[in-house]
Each structure stands twice: as C-alpha cells, then as structure tokens.
Amino acid sequence: MLCQELPEIVRRSLLWGTTPQEECRRFVECTENQEFIRRQLQHRGLVAFVADGAILPRRSGISQLPLPNAIPFRSPASLRVSFTPPNPVWHNGQLSESITGMGIPEGITLIVGGGYHGKSTLLRALERGVYPHIPGDGREYVVTRADAVKIRAEDGRRIEQVDLSPFIGTLPYGQSTHAFCTDNASGSTSQAANIVEALEAGSRLLLIDEDTSATNFMVRDARMQALVAKDHEPITPFVDRVRELFERFRISTVLVMGGSGDYLDVADTVIMMREYCAGDVTEQARVVAATYPTGRRRETPVPFERLRERALIPESIDPSRGRREVSIDAKSTDLLIIGTTPVELWAVEQLVDISQTRAIGYAIHTIAERYADGHKRLGELLDAVERLMDTEALEALSPFARGGRHPGNLARPRRYEIAAALNRLRTLRMGQV
C-alpha cells in the first residue's frame, strides 16, 4: 500500500501531467467567469442573471444533475443583458466571448405562472446561484448576488430576543414583540424572524416561495380585513412591508407567487413562466392591477424604522460532551450537534454540503471562544470570523487542526448560514444592543 498503491493514487490524481488538463482549465475559467458576473451585478442594478440556454430542472428532488431533454431557458427581450467575462465562455457546447441572458433588476420581482410551469424551479436555481457551478451542471451561468437568502416558514423553531415588531405587533395579553422569545414559533412568527435575522446578518436580497410560506404572513385580503378588524390582528403582512424594505433600506425581494394577485400592486417586475420559458409581463400585470382593484387596505401601523441588533452571550454556547471539552459533529447537511445540543437546519435551504455544516459548527465555537464578549453585535462577530477565514483559511476554525494543517473535511460556509445555525441553537442567549 505504501510503496505501490498510494504513489499510484498520487500520480493519477495530483500530478498535473496526468490530469485532464483541458477539463481542469475549463473548470477554473468557468468559475472565474461566474465570479466576474457576480461582481458586476450590483454595478448594473441587478440581483441575478440567468443565461440563455441554461438547464434549470434537476433529475429529481434529491439530485443536482440536470434533467435530460429539458427545455433550455430563454430570456425575454426586455430583460436581456450580456456580459463579457475575462475568459472564453463555454456554454451548451459552444465557445463565445460574451454571454446573454435574463437580468433580474433590483426591487420587487414576482415570478408568476401556472402550476408545473417552472416558477419554483427558477427560484431554486437562483438560490443555488450564490455558489459557482461546475461545467456541465446546466446552471453554470445562473448567477445570484452573494447576499441572497432564501426565506421560508419554519414551525417549531426557537427564537431568541428578535425584534418582530415591524411584522408582528403587540400580542394578546399585552405581550411585546420588540425582544421576542419562544421555543415553538408558529409559521408566521418563524417567517418574520427568518427575515429579520437574515437582514441582521447583512442580506439585502430575499428569495421567497409562496409554497413554503405562511399564508397569513404573506397577505390578508379585503374580505378578511372586513371580518377581522386590524385591532385584533397583530400581523402586518409582508405585502405591506416589501415595498418599504426596498425604498427605505434597498432590500430587494424575488417572490414566486401563483395564488395572490395582491402583490401585483407592489411589484416592479413581473416574470411569467410558461412551459419553462420566461416572459416579461410587467405592463400587463399593471393593467390587471388597475382594472381589478383588490379593495384591501394597507396595514402598516408604524414605519419600519430600524433593525434592532443583538449581542451574543458566549456562555450560552457549550460545546462540551462528557469528558470532551469540544464535541462538534455534523450528522448530515441539515443536522449539527454542538456539545449535546442538536441544531436542526432543514429549513436553511442554501446549505449544500455536510462539510459546510461541520465548518459552521466550528465557526460558532470560534465566535463564542475568541470574539463574543456579550457586547459585540452579531454582524461584528460574523465579520470577524469571515476575516479569519480570509486570512488564515478554514483550518483556523477547527479546534482539532494542528500546526496549521487543513483537517480535510471542511467547506466554507456563508455568513448567512452561520447566523442561521446560531439562531437555531436552542441554548442560545442574546441581548439587544
């Protein structure tokens, strides 16, 4: 094994002379092109780009392989943009100097259409577009801004000292929501908390699918407003905040919406998916909104003034288990064990690999051990751990790495997933600052 098998494995897999050099070069150039487009998005007033010819559908719900014989994506002419990245573009078997596709502008974008026509498929491609894709994936040139966070309802999750007042007012019996805590959140409460926490972590792009949202959080129509007076409804629906989020804080939102036309009143762009082909129906949607008014009243009792930030109490994070001072284990992509406490991440949909989950566990331990002092804001703590990964790489996170050696089983997580895991730790204690 030492003298024959291992040297042969090294020769076949690590030496440049025996690797598929053209394939490696194409992979690197493809990644560089994707990152170039991502850096250009904000300068051009876009939140995402979907290339013409991209293959968005996957083979199944548990596969990331492209669906054979799928319909290639085609952008509407009114939203078509082009990029000229630093390397030649290999796309759909063709080589070119530039690439064209649909640019989704900043603001509020609705993705509408009938069932099974590709609305959620497009949104799933956008949520994965925060990462580069390998050649042959089909979504190599589906590129989303790096600060995009997928938001959904999440019944039963824990919430710690989150200011939900912009979305949920005073509860029955006078319970305040300015520093809300619960061990068993409802769908609407959890979705409100997920939005506030994402903004606290620095996101300025929200991705939402009505299929995984709480209906009473998303909208309250005119009939329900007439039946249940606002005085008895603490929830301010998202439809009444989404415009304010963009105009006051430049927070864009992309929503899949197939059942509620109330969002037509607040949308900047409306994209209709029909047989997996995209069309720009913004003007048509405005005519529909004007012709068929909903009659609902806007329900915003107070403006969304500011985001109340929180400070981590480091003593609330205990990574010990038995005789081990640090026990951190990723059981799967969506299950992390810190000490004796499980952290369920099934609703954190932009985690893609168990190595990210493991790195998140180490990042939380690093934050608590090295940076948190009970006063630093969560955003400052996330900045610090990102600087650590930038300057000292992932091995700096691991309490088990020795001599600067990479432990070999870590992949870099985004700050948003680190914050999401921290917020779902049931022992977590926070204080508002």
Which residues does 19 contact at the CB level (< 8 Å), separation at least 6?
A: 13
| Residue 154 and residue 194 in contact, taking contact as beta carbons nearer than 8 Å | yes
Residue 258 lies in a domain: yes
Q: How many CA atoms lie within 13 A of 60 on its CB side?
A: 2
Q: CA 242 to CA 208: how far, in whole Å?
A: 11
Residue 248 lies in a domain: yes
Q: Which amino acid belongs to residue 396?
A: A
Q: CA 56 to CA 125: how far, in whole Å?
A: 6
Residue 335 lies in a domain: yes
201 and 331 together in one domain: no
| Residue-number span of the structural domain to which 406 is assigned | 310-432
Residue 193 lies in a domain: yes
Q: Angle of helix 415-423 relative to helix 187-200, nearest 10 degrees?
A: 140
| Residue 300 and residue 245 in contact, taking contact as beta carbons nearer than 8 Å | no
Final residue of a structural domain among 264, 291, 318: 291
| Residue 49 and residue 103 in contact, taking contact as beta carbons nearer than 8 Å | yes
Q: CA 25 to CA 33: how far, in whole Å?
A: 12
239 and 158 together in one domain: yes
Final residue of a structural domain among 291, 319, 342: 291
Residue 20 lies in a domain: no
162 and 269 together in one domain: yes
| Residue 252 and residue 296 in contact, taking contact as beta carbons nearer than 8 Å | no
The predicted structure's pLDDT at residue 348: 98
210 and 157 together in one domain: yes
Residue 255 lies in a domain: yes
322 and 238 together in one domain: no
166 and 286 together in one domain: yes
The predicted structure's pLDDT at residue 407: 74
The predicted structure's pLDDT at residue 99: 96
241 and 315 together in one domain: no
The predicted structure's pLDDT at residue 404: 62
Token readout for 319 is 């990574």
| Residue 148 and residue 253 in contact, taking contact as beta carbons nearer than 8 Å | no
369 and 320 together in one domain: yes
First-residue to last-residue Cα distance in the chain: 58
280 and 319 together in one domain: no
For the chain, how many structural domains are there in total?
Answer: 2
**DSSP letter, residue 296:** P
Residue 404 lies in a domain: yes
The model's pTM is 0.94
Residue 348 lies in a domain: yes
266 and 167 together in one domain: yes
Q: What does the pLDDT look like over 163-202, one tens digit per residue?
A: 999 999 988 877 899 999 999 999 999 999 999 999 999 9
**DSSP letter, residue 368:** I
Q: Which residues of the chain have pLDDT under 70?
A: 402-406
279 and 329 together in one domain: no
224 and 328 together in one domain: no
